[in-house]
Homo-oligomer: A and B are copies of this chain.
């Protein structure tokens, strides 16, 4: 069993808030991240897959194919976008880094399996001081 990780990046706007609450309450719960005018980040996404090395290529997986899947399913939809309003698989969800990780896992899991590998971890770095990791249930 070996693990390979691909990094991709996306620059996006978002806002943390609960639609049932007013701005003041959202400010109390979510702090400056609740700014109704949005803010944004340079997100780094690390996708780790695991499996056996193919004895005919020395690869666990073709990294170019992995990159293509991540871009098609995830970063093409998130890059230079507003995470709260225009990403199909995030509609109606919080855009916390925790929820982003789980949502991206759900988009990638089956695709990775079709490549003959298993999704192991989705990690997102929001700033240089915090990151979230999800390994499935």
Contact = CB atoms under 8 A, between A and B. Distances in A.
A14, A40, A48 pick with most chain B CB within 10 angstroms: A40
B63 A7 contact: no
Contact of A39 (B13, B31, B48, B129): B13
Contacts of A42: 41-42, 127-128
Contacts of A131: 4-5
B39 A98 contact: no
A11 B98 contact: no
Contacts of A135: 1, 3
Contacts of A132: 2-5, 60
Is chain A's interface secondary structure helix, strand, loop, or mixed overall?
Answer: mixed
Interface residues of A, number: 61
A79 B32 contact: yes
A130 interface: yes
A82 B133 contact: no
A38 B13 contact: yes
A126 to B, nearest CB: 8
B134 A80 contact: no
B57 A130 contact: no
Interface of A: 1-9, 11-14, 16, 18, 29-33, 35, 37-42, 48, 53, 56-60, 63-64, 79-82, 85-86, 93-99, 101-102, 127-135, 137
